[in-house]
Amino acid sequence: MSEPSIFTRILNGEIPSEIVAQTDTLFAIRDIAPKAPTHLLVIPKTQEYRDVTELAAGDPGLLIEMIELAKGLADAEGDGDFRLIFNTGANAGQTVFHVHAHVLSGGLDESSMNAG
Ligand code: AMP
């Protein structure tokens, strides 16, 4: 088992962060460096998958659940429209290798195309 990721440590209460939504398999937090009025991270509770390609291959149903939760959060916190970003690989700006979706909503323009 690899070292706990920063997101696993948040889930375990070792690093403070408000968990804004939770299901059996997922949780969501506010990004500490928001790039839009609503900028949430939707994260599987398991850190088994490093990025969205591993998740799609290993548990596509969980990927669908992530999209459904993202939509629910954009409805509740944003204007219902949202941008879903999976930075995949270091050269694409991924810094945490525990798969997560950036959910950006509200007041979006080209400057928030990059969630990293
Ligand atoms: P990525 O660069 O796509 O791997 O996304 C990682 C995201 O995690 C970045 O947008 C960071 O701002 C965010 N982040 C890092 N540490 C924390 C934290 N303690 N609480 C909330 N968000 C965090």
Domain locations in the chain? 6-114
- Determine the distance separating the centroid of ligand 1 and the alpha carbon of 33, expressed in angstroms: 7
Residue nearest to atom 18 of ligand 1 (CA): 32
- The DSSP 8-state label assigned to residue 2 in this structure reads P
For the chain, the average pLDDT equals 94
> Stretch 73-89: mean pLDDT, rounded?
94
Residue nearest to atom 1 of ligand 1 (CA): 94
**Which CATH class, in words, describes the domain spanning 6-114?**
alpha beta
* Residue 113 in this model has a pLDDT that exceeds 80: no
How many DSSP H helices and E strands does the chain contain?
A: 3, 5
> Stretch 32-38: mean pLDDT, rounded?
93
Q: Which residues are near ligand 1 (CB < 6 Å)?
A: 6, 15, 17, 29, 31-33, 87, 93-96, 116
Task: Please report where in the chains the tokens 């009025």 appear, as a residue.
Answer: 37
